[in-house]
Amino acid sequence: MKKTILALAAATALMSVGTAMAQEKTKACFIYVGPIGDFGWSYQHHQGVLEMQKEIGEDKVEIAYLESVPEGADAERAIERFARSGCDIVFTTSFGYMDATNKVAGRFPDVKFEHATGYKREHPNVSTYNSKFHEGRYVQGVIAASMSEVGTAGYIASFPIPEVVMGIDAFVLGAQSVNPDFKVKVVWANTWFDPGKEADAAKALIDQGVDIITQHTDSTAPMQVAAERGIKAFGQASDMIEFGPETQLTSIVDDWGPYYIERVKAVMDGTWEQIDVWGGMGAGHVVMAPYANMPDDVKKLAEETEAKIASGEFDPFTGPINKQDGSVWLKEGEVAEEGVLLGLNFYVEGVDDQLPQ
Amino acid sequence: MGMVEAILLTIATAATPLLLAAIGELVSERSGVLNLGVEGMMVMGAVTGFAVAYTTGSPWLGAVAAIVVGALFSLLFGFLTLTLVTNQVATGLALTLLGLGLSGMIGERFIGLPGVKMETISIPFLSDLPLVGRLVFGQDPIFYISIALTAAVTWFLFRSRAGLTMRAVGDSHDSAHALGIKVIAIRYLAVMFGGACAGLAGAYLSLVYTPQWVENMTAGRGWIALALVVFASWRPWRVLAGAYLFGAVSIGQLHAQALGIGIPSQFLSALPYLATIVVLVLISRNRRLTMMNTPASLGRPFVPDR
């Protein structure tokens, strides 16, 4: 009995030491929608987190994360748990956490919240951040039209939300800047992540004659199918060159590291303020994997396009652009407003598909 | 390779993992054990198959290891439900959750690595026949195993004495016990067969279908296999028909989308589920036959009274 009490006392002492040490560290917490092993969206967020911890130092910042948190009511519980457990800043990394994040933020004014890909900032302690992935898709379109022999690319899409529609439109616009007659066939997988189904979609598109595959779903399966069938493809979210050494042209790599470093440092310095960031290539949030498997002139064209977008000289959504039905959307020289893009729900001219409503 | 042939090959690839997992579960359920852990056993098979094939370079070793791990994993379910008599539904669900978590942990260091693909067989001349050449003589070995397994299970269940005994256990474990049949032992074997098949189905995903490992790569296929068994009213050839129908409609709807026919893609995505349920319910609509095929003791715990 005496021994037990001693042990307990020792344990309590150790625990209080642990807490005291933890208080000196800044605690950054992360909520992921998928497993960190998806090699896509959540994986890239986690890579950014690890980069942040390495940069700032494990002795100064402590991290905690929850994987596969469903969007909706469960998310609120998870976010609140983090807020209670001493997190100084909580990052919620999927669109569906938007309302839950704002709700919890109202109850914990001393904790900072950062919501990825949303637009609601109901409290001064909520920031939102997102990346302009469509800038990368425009570059991919330019490459696709230069590389394709048949003039048709296959596009494996997930869900008809503005983010995805924006990507398809940007891809088509990029392709048409090289070949005005370029066609895109779209297949909706209605899932973010199902390697088998994504592979089947890629096979179906290739069987119907496309010779370039691009995807807005999260697995590497389409890349493998393209490699097997000997055509070219674009990766998604991470550099997938390992899965198609002779197949991948480039890939849009989500690089969240710089943003996480900046924001966690801001919390440590006490300079954190509410912001709304939609960074693209210029801000270093969207990075293109090395251009590969293409002739030098195509590579040069891609690099030039990337440089023009990154410097802000050119915006992919610059008129003249017509909507799919041929009506005018943007006049010559007109640039789409960010608000319109964030709610985009129509195709531009040249997409060979009906947008699911 | 023509387009029709390419489509048929894709359908076979989509159907094979469903067929394998469903045939295993059918045997388990015929013995009276409802194992809702198919998804978990499958994903364990997928990670094992990938890990072993990647480490040794041999997809065959990967497949064998997946079979063994699937069977061992189901043994855990067997021990809990048969020896400790826990609730089968709850234990099965727990097995799925455990499998998804455990596979994620085991597979962590294999993420982002290209896997080893099991080669398709090739018979000179025969594999080059038009239309049916690749389909009949040029597929991956596990495809042939899945067809052979369906035939073997049919023979076992309805033509062999052991199969009759197992069905008796599934229909009335009390009567079987009274006749001196070792109910628990037979159920253990049936559950392990189910686990082995689910393990192989998982390995098919990570070695043939999409040779890679990513967490949760089964993406619900275990649940589809479970549903197939019920809608096929516990008949092996109907399970095969259901799996191929599901595969055919899944692939067909992707082609319909790529062709750009104006049907909403959400409806097309739901079509495989709808079509499979409707067709299997129609062919199983003879209620007397369905009742006869349903294992009467399915899901009921068995405690020998002496």
Residue B283 has pLDDT above 90, yes or no: no
| pLDDT at res. A19 | 44
Same domain, A226 and A334: yes
Specify the residue for token string 């209605």: A190
Contact yes or no for B219 and A193 at CB 8 A: yes
Same domain, A169 and A30: no
Helix %, strand %, coil % for chain A, to 5? 45, 20, 35
CATH of the domain at A68: 3.40.50.2300
Residue A214 tokens, joined: 């691009």
CA A198, CA A155: separation in Å to the nearest integer? 11
A66–chain B nearest CA distance, Å: 13
Contact yes or no for B113 and A219 at CB 8 A: no
* Average pLDDT, integer, range A46-68: 94
In a domain, A17, yes or no: yes
| pLDDT at res. B127 | 77
| pLDDT at res. A283 | 84
Q: Where does a domain end: A106, A131, A156? A: A131
Contact yes or no for B210 and A224 at CB 8 A: yes
Residue A11 has pLDDT above 50, yes or no: no
Neighboring chain B residues of A354 at a CB cutoff of 8 Å = 260, 262, 264
Q: Is B132 on the interface with A (CB under 8 A)?
A: no
In a domain, B206, yes or no: yes
Residue B181 has pLDDT above 50, yes or no: yes
Average pLDDT value for chain B: 92
- Of the candidates B112, B254, B262, which has its C-beta nearest A204's C-beta? B254
Among all residues of chain A, which has the CA nearest to that of B205? A196
Q: Which of A185, A187, A211 to mutate to test the interface with B (most CBs of B within 10 A)?
A: A187
Contact yes or no for B250 and A238 at CB 8 A: no
Residue A114 tokens, joined: 């950062």
| pLDDT at res. B1 | 60
Q: Which of A208, A210, A213, A246 to mutate to test the interface with B (most CBs of B within 10 A)?
A: A208
Specify the residue for token string 């493998």: A224
Specify the residue for token string 């982002």: B112
Q: Is A132 on the interface with B (CB under 8 A)?
A: no
- Region of residue A30 (phi > 0: left; psi between -120 and 50: alpha; otherwise: beta): beta
- Of the candidates A190, A196, A221, which has its C-beta nearest B14's C-beta? A196
Same domain, A160 and A118: no
A288-313 residue pLDDT tens? 999 999 999 999 999 999 999 999 99
In a domain, B302, yes or no: no
Q: Which of B254, B268, B269 to mutate to test the interface with A (most CBs of A within 10 A)?
A: B254
Same domain, A91 and A63: yes
Same domain, A12 and A120: yes
Q: Where does a domain end: A115, A131, A147? A: A131
| pLDDT at res. B306 | 57
| Residue range(s) defining the domain that contains residue B130 | 3-293
Alpha helices, H only, chain A: 2-24, 41-56, 73-84, 98-107, 133-147, 162-176, 195-207, 221-229, 257-269, 296-310, 338-342
- Residue A348 is classified by DSSP as B
Same domain, A213 and A308: yes
> CB within 8 A of B211, min separation 6: which ones?
A224, B50, B114, B115, B116, B117, B118
Tell me the CA distances in angstroms from A286 to A137, A237, A323, B77, one per residue in order.
Answer: 10, 9, 26, 46
B223–chain A nearest CA distance, Å: 14
Number of domains within chain A:
2
Residue A180 has pLDDT above 90, yes or no: yes
| pLDDT at res. B215 | 86
Q: Is A242 on the interface with B (CB under 8 A)?
A: yes
* Average pLDDT, integer, range A141-145: 96
Of A10-24, A58-72, A257-271, B140-154, the least confident: A10-24
Q: Is A70 on the interface with B (CB under 8 A)?
A: no
Number of domains within chain B:
1
- Of the candidates B3, B210, B259, which has its C-beta nearest A195's C-beta? B210
| Residue range(s) defining the domain that contains residue A239 | 134-253+286-352
Q: Where does a domain end: A131, A160, A188? A: A131
Neighboring chain A residues of B257 at a CB cutoff of 8 Å = 186-188, 204, 353
Phi, psi for B27 (deg, rounded to 5): -65, -45
- Of the candidates A194, A238, A354, which has its C-beta nearest B262's C-beta? A354
Same domain, A184 and A293: yes
Same domain, A121 and A144: no
Question: Residue B287 belongs to what H/E stretch?
Answer: helix B287-293
In a domain, B242, yes or no: yes
